[in-house]
């Protein structure tokens, strides 16, 4: 039996090498997230945005470009930070060691925070909320992204890897995250779905899953992964009219009181 999901159960030091390719953003995904950033963060005219759990820097340079601001990516994994510095160095972006319970920034240093598929990895969400509240200036926003509503059960990945849904069912739900964050002075403003193309067709999707960069694929057994990959490979081989693979995730918006 594969392990259940708990914060810290994925070894991101080992995963750093494949993460950039396995989590590469399509042009459609970039456009979708740019629209989110411009709608929720740009009106605040941010000078400094925190990318908490920045990983290999997928979003830090993009946020700097989209918002015309400086960005600090904070990431606990040395391997992930090394990849970010090597692959995504950017003039107005810095990458620092730190974690959600100890953000290495001054009080009120940030005008916005971006947490992309991070919160379920945080062992102490109330501590994370307090740290976010500390480093955010009043009136700023924190954007929390992840599969945190029941809609996650419809993610296309699980058609081929149904065993992986067991892992995601251990992720917190939006209601739990809101309950953990609001006492720290982060007022819930909205929860919405964001959809985007993850791969141009099933063949490309199969190449992506083969890297096993998704958290849920990391934690199912090797036998379960092999069965799921075989299902997806067979579907890709049988696809006569290739269609884009569209997935989605949840956005939870908080405003710092």
The span from the CA of 147 to the CA of 19, in Å, is: 18
pTM, two decimals, is 0.93
Q: What is the pLDDT of residues 124-162, one digit of tens each?
A: 999 999 999 999 999 999 999 999 999 999 999 999 999
Ordered domains of the chain (ranges, CATH): 12-256 (3.40.50.150)
Residues 40-58 pLDDT 10s: 999 999 999 999 999 999 9
pLDDT band at residue 69 under the 50/70/90 scheme? very high
pLDDT tens, residue by residue, 108-118: 999 999 999 99
Predicted confidence band of residue 29 (pLDDT cuts 50, 70, 90): very high
């Amino acid at each position: 039996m594969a392990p259940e999901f708990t914060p810290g159960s994925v070894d991101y030091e080992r995963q750093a090498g494949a993460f950039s390719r396995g989590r590469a953003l399509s042009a459609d995904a970039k456009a979708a997230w740019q629209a989110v950033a411009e709608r929720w963060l740009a009106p605040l005219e941010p000078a400094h945005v925190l990318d908490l759990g920045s990983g290999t820097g997928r979003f830090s340079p993009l946020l700097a470009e989209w918002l015309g601001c400086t960005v600090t990516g904070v990431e606990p994994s040395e391997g992930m930070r090394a990849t970010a510095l090597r692959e995504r160095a950017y003039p107005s972006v810095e990458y620092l060691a730190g974690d959600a319970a100890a953000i290495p920034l001054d009080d009120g240093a940030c005008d916005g925070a971006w947490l992309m598929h991070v919160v379920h990895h945080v062992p102490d969400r109330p501590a994370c909320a307090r740290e976010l509240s500390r480093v955010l200036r009043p009136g700023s926003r924190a954007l929390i992204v992840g599969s945190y509503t029941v809609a996650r059960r419809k993610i296309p990945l699980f058609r081929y890897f149904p065993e992986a849904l067991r892992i995601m069912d251990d992720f917190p739900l939006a209601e739990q995250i809101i309950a953990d964050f609001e006492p720290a002075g982060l007022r819930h403003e909205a929860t919405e779905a964001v959809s985007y193309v993850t791969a141009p067709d099933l063949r490309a999707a199969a190449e992506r899953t083969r890297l096993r960069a998704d958290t849920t694929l990391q934690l199912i057994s090797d036998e379960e992964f092999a069965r799921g990959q075989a299902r997806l490979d067979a579907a890709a081989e049988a696809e006569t009219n290739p269609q884009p693979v569209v997935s989605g995730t949840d956005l939870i918006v908080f405003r710092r009181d």
